[in-house]
Amino acid sequence: MVKDLTQMKAGEKGRVVDIQGGWGLLRKMDALGIRPGTEVVKISSQLMRGPIIIKVGNTQVAIGFGMARRIIVE
């Protein structure tokens, strides 16, 4: 099933399949190791469309809601 990061539940695992954005967004994500193929675990999300926190490798990353919506996982 394909969904974006904001739709995942806390504790759910997924694999990034697509990042819907321009080169700038891709580059930013790439710097922290988020790209198609990366496995991620959702840790938590803040209320009222706050940032989403995921785990990539051994690192936790906080991602703004708008950005998180453009990261598609399966």
Partner 1 sequence: MRKVLLMGNPNVGKSVVFSRLTGVNVISSNYPGTTVEFSKGYMRVGNEKVEVIDVPGTYSLDPNSKAEEIAVNILKDSIVSQNGIVVNIVDATNLERNLNLTLQLLKENIPVIVDLNFWDETKHLGISIDVGELERILNVPVVPTCAVTGEGIKGLVDRLLEAKAMAYEYQEGEKWHEIGKIIDRVQKVSHRHHTFLERLADASIRPLTGVPIALGVVYIAFKLIRSIGEGLIGYVLEPIFEKLWAPLMMKLSSILGSGGFIHDILIGKIFEGKIDFRQSFGILTTGIFVPFAAVLPYVFAFYLVLSFFEDSGYLPRLGVLADKMMHQVGLHGLGIISMMLGLGCNVPGVLATRVMETRRERFISATLLAIAVPCMAQIAMIVGLVGKYGTKALMFVFGTLFLVWLTIGILMNRLLKGESPEIFVEIPPYRIPYFGALVRKLWMRVKGFLKEAVPFVLLGVFIVNILYSFKIIDFLGKLTGPVIKSLLGLPSGAVAALLVGFLRKDVAVGMLVPLGLTLKQLVIASVVLAMYFPCVASFAVLVKELGVRDMIKSAAIMIFSTLLVGGALNLIL
Binding positions for partner 1, rule: CB under 8 A = 10, 27-28, 30-33, 35, 37, 43-51, 53, 56-67
- The CA distance from 68 to 5, in Å, is 5
Nearer residue to partner 1 within complex by CB, 7 or 61:
61
Contacts of residue 43, Cβ cutoff 8 Å, sequence gap at least 6: 10, 11, 53, 54, 55, 60
Q: How far is the CB of 30 from partner 1 (least distance, A)?
A: 7
- The CA distance from 53 to 63, in Å, is 6
Q: How far is the CB of 15 from partner 1 (least distance, A)?
A: 14
Nearer residue to partner 1 within complex by CB, 8 or 45:
45
